Copies of this chain bind each other. A is one copy, B any other.
Amino acid sequence: MKKYLLTPGPTPLPDEVRKALALPIIHHRTPEFQKIFIRVNEGLKYLFQTQNDIFTFAGSGTAAMEAAVVNLLSANDTAIAVCGGKFGERWREICQAYNVKVISIDVEWGKAVEPAEIKRLLAEHKETKAVFTTLCETSTGVTNDIKTIAEIVKASPAALVVDAVSGLGAEELQTDKWGVDCVVAGSQKAMMLPPGLSFCSISPKARKAIESSKLPKYYFDLRKAKKALDKSDTTFTPPVSLIVALAEALDLIKKEGLENVFKRHKIMAESARGALLALGFKLFSETFCNVVTAAYTPEGIDSTQLVKLLRDKYGVSIANGQEQFKGKLIRLAHLGYIQPSDIITGISAIEKALSELGYKVESKKSVHAAERIFDNYFKGAKK
């Protein structure tokens, strides 16, 4: 059975990436690897839209999130964390694990944070050292207004840290122009790689924070990593095959052009939303994102059953709701190496599965939605 990954990570791998993964391994302390690593670091700067240093870790996205916390802060420092979903809450959890005083902004799941609330808290807590937030909250399909948040945080002494693990490369994020001090990312999303690499960029403001940070660290220590990076080297043995594949993936992104990559994600997301609405789903949030669409299943349909049927019978993987929304929401991702054919496949499988689960579907509506996907794509896309 052919399989389709419409999940918010891992995402499908382009052939170029799969071929690179299968190459004979090379040693990491050689001119050959160094050349690739230099190419990767240049490609990452293009993708992150920054001239800041970008550090690459062997680790999942959470590893780079922890690296941001332990390098920027000291115990008993104050930080603001925007908690509007599972991943926002992770910021709070990591801070708490390191005895950082966290001021939580508890945003209702499905809503974006009000930037004014961050402004108010920063004014009230002038001792705040960092603001942690999320570009696309994968658990809810919401995008936060990082541009406005960055304007606010820039005026304070705090560093702005953005979890863009799922969002980077799918949703606009102008690291330098907006002034984001630390962008955290992961390989298995819009970067079109397997999981296993994570990243964080460090602005001059964030670098100052690193100098005075006293939290304990070794593997994540960015002071040592900086010395290595300045020689295009890594502190510890890097995941060579993933980095060789990353060079290929970044070339693909550069070739398509970041703007076109964003545009493609936007069209896929819009089409998915349109098709889901036509099938009787109700969108979970008002602030959409290009990464994943969260939607309530139609009346009487259990999302756990739907997800299982799609996977086992149709080879289509989508995600269930998380935490309190398990069984109620589906999360259909349109992330990474995804084209109209993938969305069509996903939508048509959902239509079939709904019908099997006893929900009456008007099939013409879904076909119409599918057509609209193609129309939009081929009108909008660069040849």
A-side residues, CB < 8 A to B, are 3, 5, 7, 9-13, 18-19, 21-28, 30, 57-63, 66, 93-94, 97-99, 186, 188, 194-196, 215-219, 221, 236-242, 311, 317
Contact = CB atoms under 8 A, between A and B. Distances in A.
Contact of A10 (B3, B57, B195, B237): B237
B25 A5 contact: yes
Given A5-B27, A10-B240, A239-B196, A98 B22 contact: no
Contacts of A63: 58-59, 219, 236
A318 to B, nearest CB: 10
B25 A241 contact: no
Given A61-B237, A217-B97, A218-B66, A24 B12 contact: yes
Contact of A194 (B62, B195, B239): B239
Given A60-B58, A238-B195, A10 B28 contact: yes
Contact of A61 (B60, B94, B221, B236): B236
Given A58-B59, A58-B195, A98 B10 contact: no
Contact of A59 (B7, B219, B311): B219
Contacts of A99: 216
Nearest to A97: B218
Given A22-B19, A216-B215, A317-B30, A195 B239 contact: yes
Given A3-B24, A66-B218, 18 more contacts: A5-B25, A7-B27, A10-B26, A10-B240, A11-B25, A19-B22, A27-B317, A57-B59, A59-B219, A61-B236, A61-B237, A97-B217, A99-B216, A188-B237, A194-B240, A194-B241, A196-B196, A216-B216
A32 to B, nearest CB: 9
A18 B241 CA distance: 10
13 contacts: A3-B24, A21-B241, A30-B311, A57-B59, A58-B60, A59-B59, A60-B219, A62-B218, A93-B218, A98-B218, A194-B239, A194-B241, A195-B238
A22 B26 contact: no
A2 to B, nearest CB: 9
Nearest to A28: B10
A331 to B, nearest CB: 12
Nearest to A239: B196
B97 A216 contact: yes
Contacts of A11: 25
Nearest to A165: B237
A194 B22 CA distance: 10
A117 to B, nearest CB: 25
Contacts of A217: 97
A19 B98 CA distance: 41
